[in-house]
Amino acid sequence: MKHKLLALTLALLAAAGSLFAQNRVTGTVTDDSGYGVVGASVMEKGTQNGAVTDLDGNYAITVRPGATLVFSSIGYATQEVAVGNQSTINVLLKEDTEFLDEVVVVGYGTMKKSDLAGASVSMKEDAIKGSIITNIDQSLQGRAAGVTAVQTSGAPGSSSSIRVRGQATINANAEPLYVIDGVIMQGGGSSGADFGLGDALGNGAVSTVSPLSTLNPSDIVSMEILKDASATAIYGAQGANGVVLITTKRGKSGEAKFSYDGMFAVQRQTKRIGLLNLREFAEYYNDLASVGMVEANDYYSDPSILGKGTNWQDAIFRTALQHQHQVSAQGGTEKVQYYVSGSYMDQQGTIIGSDFQRFSVRANLDAQLKKWWKIGLSAAFSNTNENMKLADSDEGIIGYSLTSLPSAPIYDQDGNYYSITMKNYAIINPVAMAMLEQIKLNRQKTSGNIFSDINFLPQLVWHAELDYDISYSKAETFNPSVNLGSYQRASNEVREQKNNSLYWALKNYLTYSNTFGKHSITAMVGQEVWESRWDYESVFNTALPSNEVVNPYLGTGTPTIGYGYGSSSMASFFTRETYNYDNRYIATYTFRYDGSSNFGPNKRWAPFHSFAFAWRFSNEKFMEGAKNVLNDGKLRLGWGQTGNAGIGSYKWGTSMTKVATGLGTGYRQSNLPNPNIMWEKQQQFNVGLDLSFFNNRLSLVAEWYDKKSNDMLMPLQLPSYMGTQGNGSSALAAPWGNYGTIDNRGFEFTLTAHPVETKDFHWSSEGQISFNQNKLVALAGTASAAIVGYGQWNDVVSVSNVGESLYGFYGYVTDGIFQNIEEVMAGPVQGDGMPHTVDDDGIWHASTNPADYNQYNTTWVGDIRFKDLNGDGHITEADRTNIGSPMPVFTFGWTNTFTYKNWDLSVFLNGTYGNKVLNYLNMRVGNMKSAWANQPTSVLGRTQLEAIDSGKTYDGTGNVWNWFEDPQNVRVKNPGATLPRATTGDPNDNDRLSDRYIEDGSYLRVKNITLGYTFPKKWLQKVKIENLRVQVNIQNLLTFTKYTGYDPEIGASTASVNVMGLDNGRYPSPTMYSLGVNVTF
């Protein structure tokens, strides 16, 4: 029907033209690939006379003699052809290289990409679509140079830790600022505690809850990641960690286009940690018994009759399903355009009991009310439901699954959960834990904006915008009553918390842009205010009559109620000036002046400046000769300031906290104040080089930067005797202040190539690599000040010393295994309680009397020799040192896309190099301290002891009854072993944090393989379908790494701030196989 109409129009045009014309011209407009160009405009120059090409690129027009035809179409270079006496003119339209100069979103406006002087990187829809992602932040991994994205967990919908150009701050929020269609993303918090989940997900500042999982990735058309300060300075106090600008799809004029995107996926955990099976464990146990460590157990006495026992890893992991569906419609008239979408996603987690669902709708409207007045509206609503599990930490499901004995069944004969209780050692049945303990989170969010653009003059636009974000969340932790031996809770407990928040922002800015000859300028000046108000209420109660109905009102315990509210606000003024001379010299200046309620009256306001300069040397006359080779070249220099205020409110005063006491209500001062706390300030230099060769067949972007964060916001790092390190609910919180300086320097390279471009076959390849060096330059206080990070609870695992990279692991250095008692007696003394003498210089010497040693409570043959770094003869805290950094030397990503006719194949690899992982899980699981917890198979290679003289007999003198109790009659049986002896008491503290648990975290991962087929248009026309595409995708297919844990990709710790790369049973990222379909009609 549509085509008939078009034909009729053409006919009418032709008829109208015939009144004057003498010449009728027909022809076909084609493009490089030989296809007809639809809808190209064919105009007679200098008149209103024109035609439009049809579906196959054919046109017909009648013109006056001597006329010139102008062929144009968006995306192609305009061509003029003098008609002369030709009656058939076929035209090949060339793609417009100027058009490749896309328009990109910058803060408070848009710019031509060629005009950018700062460092930023774009991600388009297809890169986002190339991965199976629940959250948009997951798509950043390996795709953008300078951006490291590490998933905090493999749980569905979980967060990523994103660092733009390295870790540039500590404690204050280090994640970039997300701006969705101009609205600053309101997280509602990133730790479980923020939502009212207490420490159910760990007690660190980050959790698996992702603020971005409320956003539907399919609605996104592009992302811009602003990296250097000249780009981010326009966000002033909020831009220090980089800015991610997200643009959602908007309507286009034309008849409605409907599309459906559907995906079905299967996920599973492909890796298992090697653990002893029942037979192997029995042998291990019997071996311990044979050297007197445990009493012999009849059950294990004959391993050969035992089976393999329970595989607890298989019990907690499952093959999980995921499906998602999105329907959208876009279209409109010239005056009004719309985009609406609705989507649903349901993802099971690969750990039993965990899942994630999201329902979202979006409506984006644009209307041209007057010639000079345009308004627009974005509105999105989303609703997510999550069932979360505590996977990592000492009390996590994964840890329990590794320590649970293979001798214990999952269920007893009656089908109830079996309880595992062995002497003095109890492990919670991890399957029961996963299925019974509930951690649920429901989030609802309505966000968007309304804006108005008024053109006072064609060059002067006033943009006014009201942003809003209304969020609600409901968190529930329910611990049912259970009675499983050691895992027992007679009285159930429920805690519900509801959070509400309202954010609004109002901004106005005037933009003037004009061109005077070779000079073109853009000037913008504006203002913004925002306010965020929040409140929460929580109820906790115990002793509900049953586990069936979870309602704290039904509890018969004493309910406790929590309630709180607060707000924060910011006011800002900003301006940006850009100047472009002849497309050769480009300069930008931005300034922002921010006031934040997070700071006291003394330090509330701060200015932020930036300058950037770019030289497009390829447009210089002297480069003209090289145009064939180098078609674009730009050198960029930038410097700028940004800030960080993300510390929460009222650190400049002391608030009082209510404390119940046995003497009545009490109040305590919860923190030490710092009235002079102010912005964290960052200065960044950036040098960038953009080069394009051979008509964009090969292009390179190279960047160097030096980013220094000064006055870093953090709590003052105080030693414990200052009283600020105790339990958070009773210790005085240390004063927050501006205490540190961090420097990040690095190089980034992005190389894009199109090595093969033929009619049917295209190959494009994009690789990016980012090097970053991180250094803690200074901390206020003394030279020895350091930032300390904790593993579980208050176990120090990382120390960031001044002059070193952040978050280095801090432990002892191992120096082999003591092979015999002579080596033990040669020292160093491995602990204060070990037999020793002290000489006049205060140097310790291990006792040289063998009788002082015994296998139960002194250092013994087969124990680890730790290095005495300070030479005082004994191992003390002073012998701990930096034993590895979790920061990678470089990260990289490489995408290859092949298209052959309608087929396309994309392979995406990514990885890191040079980072270390602390295998904290192995420190707990493989410590060989218990005969009541399973062990990894690596313990089979442990040091074992043997008698030197097996014929020696004993009468109990000196409490020695056996060879294995006789220091002079034991030696190592397998001298090459690197693991120490198994000892239940571990008097030598073999499992103390040492380089024994530090592993290489480098990896190369086949992150994504996508194979797609787009059905030919010819076929689809018959069924009125515009586009149909199916694709299969495999995510995380292969990972090449030396790391022995599940997954080397380990981000920020959920247990503690100041710790990265610590694996305490992180929920591993699954391998995912999916089938997707996209239909547009």
Interacting positions 933-972 with another protein (CB under 8 A): 959, 961
Instruction: Note the Cα 214 to chain centre separation in Å.
Output: 15
Q: Judged by CB, which is closer to another protein: 234, or 278? A: 234
| Residue 377 beta carbon to another protein: minimum distance, rounded to whole angstroms | 18
Closest CA to 982 of 863, 821, 813: 863
Q: How many angstroms separate the CA atoms of 217 and 128, rounded?
A: 8
Among residues 489, 609, 845, 867, which is the contact residue for another protein, using CB under 8 A?
Answer: 489
Q: Judged by CB, which is closer to another protein: 162, or 788? A: 788
| Residue 560 beta carbon to another protein: minimum distance, rounded to whole angstroms | 6
Q: Per CB under 8 A, does 429 bind another protein? A: no
Q: Judged by CB, which is closer to another protein: 338, or 534? A: 534
Q: Per CB under 8 A, does 564 bind another protein? A: yes
Q: Are 71 and 29 in contact (CB under 8 A)?
A: yes
Q: Token digits for 54?
A: 């049809």
Among residues 4, 721, 950, 1024, which is the contact residue for another protein, using CB under 8 A?
Answer: 721
Residue indicated by tokens 């540039």? 168
Q: Are 21 and 50 in contact (CB under 8 A)?
A: no
Closest CA to 253 of 367, 361, 374: 367
Q: How many angstroms separate the CA atoms of 267 and 252, rounded?
A: 37
Q: Are 1066 and 1048 in contact (CB under 8 A)?
A: no
Closest CA to 188 of 444, 545, 453: 444
Q: Are 618 and 630 in contact (CB under 8 A)?
A: yes
Q: Judged by CB, which is closer to another protein: 212, or 861? A: 861
Among residues 329, 718, 869, 1077, which is the contact residue for another protein, using CB under 8 A?
Answer: 718
Tell me which residues in 737-756 interact with another protein (CB under 8 A). Answer: none
| Residue 461 beta carbon to another protein: minimum distance, rounded to whole angstroms | 11
Write out the E strands in 176-289: 177-180, 183-184, 220-226, 243-248, 254-268
Closest CA to 478 of 496, 498, 466, 460: 496
Query: CB within 8 A of 102, min separation 6: which ones?
Result: 112, 113, 122
| Residue 87 beta carbon to another protein: minimum distance, rounded to whole angstroms | 50
| Residue 521 beta carbon to another protein: minimum distance, rounded to whole angstroms | 21
Q: Judged by CB, which is closer to another protein: 176, or 526? A: 526
Looking at this protein, which amino acid is placed at residue 841?
A: D
Q: Work out the burial of residue 219: count CB atoms within 10 Å of its CB; fewer than 13 is exposed, 13-18 middle, 19 or more buried.
A: buried
Span near another protein by CB under 8 A; candidates 106-114, 226-234, 825-833, 1049-1057: 825-833
Taking residue 94's Cβ as centre, other Cβ atoms within 10 Å add up to: 12
In the shown chain, the binding pattern of residues 490 to 519 toward another protein, with x for contact by CB under 8 A and - for none, equals: xx-x--------------x-x---------
Q: Judged by CB, which is closer to another protein: 165, or 992? A: 992
| Residue 270 beta carbon to another protein: minimum distance, rounded to whole angstroms | 35
Q: How many angstroms separate the CA atoms of 1024 and 1037, rounded?
A: 37
Residue 159 — φ and ψ, nearest 5°? -85, 165
Span near another protein by CB under 8 A; candidates 171-179, 554-562, 937-945, 1044-1052: 554-562
Q: Judged by CB, which is closer to another protein: 744, or 792? A: 792
Q: Would you call the peptide bond into 828 cis, given omega within 30 degrees of 0 as the criterion?
A: yes
| Residue 137 beta carbon to another protein: minimum distance, rounded to whole angstroms | 30
Q: Judged by CB, which is closer to another protein: 222, or 800? A: 800
Q: Token digits for 442?
A: 């429901």
Residue indicated by tokens 């990735």? 217
Beta strands at 23-30 and 91-92: parallel, antiparallel or unpaired: parallel
Q: Are 433 and 426 in contact (CB under 8 A)?
A: no
| Residue 794 beta carbon to another protein: minimum distance, rounded to whole angstroms | 5
Q: Judged by CB, which is closer to another protein: 123, or 998? A: 998
| CB contact burial 423-456 (16+ within 10 A = b; e otherwise) | eeeebbbbbbbbebbbbbbbbbbebbbebebbee
Tell me which residues in 756-815 interact with another protein (CB under 8 A). Answer: 780-782, 784-786, 788, 793-796, 799, 801, 810
| Residue 827 beta carbon to another protein: minimum distance, rounded to whole angstroms | 15
| Residue 737 beta carbon to another protein: minimum distance, rounded to whole angstroms | 10
Closest CA to 1051 of 210, 335, 186: 210
| Residue 316 beta carbon to another protein: minimum distance, rounded to whole angstroms | 22
Q: Is 843 helix (H, G, I), strand (E, B) or coil?
A: coil
Span near another protein by CB under 8 A; candidates 26-34, 184-192, 442-450, 557-565: 557-565
Q: Judged by CB, which is closer to another protein: 294, or 701? A: 294
In the shown chain, the binding pattern of residues 293 to 332 toward another protein, with x for contact by CB under 8 A and - for none, equals: --x-------------------------------------
| Residue 205 beta carbon to another protein: minimum distance, rounded to whole angstroms | 18
| Residue 956 beta carbon to another protein: minimum distance, rounded to whole angstroms | 10
Closest CA to 796 of 780, 781, 785, 808: 808
Closest CA to 812 of 579, 936, 619, 994: 994
Closest CA to 738 of 235, 172, 234, 233: 172
Q: Per CB under 8 A, does 673 bind another protein? A: yes
Tell me which residues in 430-459 interact with another protein (CB under 8 A). Answer: 454, 456
Query: CB within 8 A of 841, min separation 6: which ones?
Result: none
Q: Judged by CB, which is closer to another protein: 741, or 876? A: 876
Q: Are 1044 and 922 in contact (CB under 8 A)?
A: yes
Tell me which residues in 340-399 interact with another protein (CB under 8 A). Answer: 370, 372
One-character DSSP codes across 758-781: -SSEEEEEEEEEEEEEEEEEEESS
Tell me which residues in 516-545 interact with another protein (CB under 8 A). Answer: 527, 529, 531, 542-543
Residue indicated by tokens 């115990």? 542
Instruction: Note the Cα 550 to chain centre separation in Å.
Output: 33
Q: Are 492 and 481 in contact (CB under 8 A)?
A: yes
In the shown chain, the binding pattern of residues 30 to 59 toward another protein, with x for contact by CB under 8 A and - for none, equals: ------------------------------
Tell me which residues in 842-901 interact with another protein (CB under 8 A). Answer: 852, 854, 856-858, 876-878, 880
Q: How many angstroms separate the CA atoms of 903 and 900, rounded?
A: 5
Tell me which residues in 125-184 interact with another protein (CB under 8 A). Answer: none
Residues in contact with another protein, counted by CB under 8 A, come to a total of: 120
| Residue 405 beta carbon to another protein: minimum distance, rounded to whole angstroms | 17
Instruction: Note the Cα 84 to chain centre separation in Å.
Output: 62
Residue 194 — φ and ψ, nearest 5°? -60, -30
| Residue 419 beta carbon to another protein: minimum distance, rounded to whole angstroms | 11
Q: Judged by CB, which is closer to another protein: 72, or 567? A: 567
In the shown chain, the binding pattern of residues 977 to 1016 toward another protein, with x for contact by CB under 8 A and - for none, equals: -------xx-x-x--xx-----------------------
Q: Judged by CB, which is closer to another protein: 151, or 572? A: 572
Q: Judged by CB, which is closer to another protein: 86, or 483? A: 483
Query: CB within 8 A of 1005, min separation 6: which ones?
Result: 909, 910, 911, 1036, 1038, 1039, 1040, 1049
Among residues 36, 50, 292, 767, which is the contact residue for another protein, using CB under 8 A?
Answer: 292
Q: Judged by CB, which is closer to another protein: 119, or 1057? A: 1057
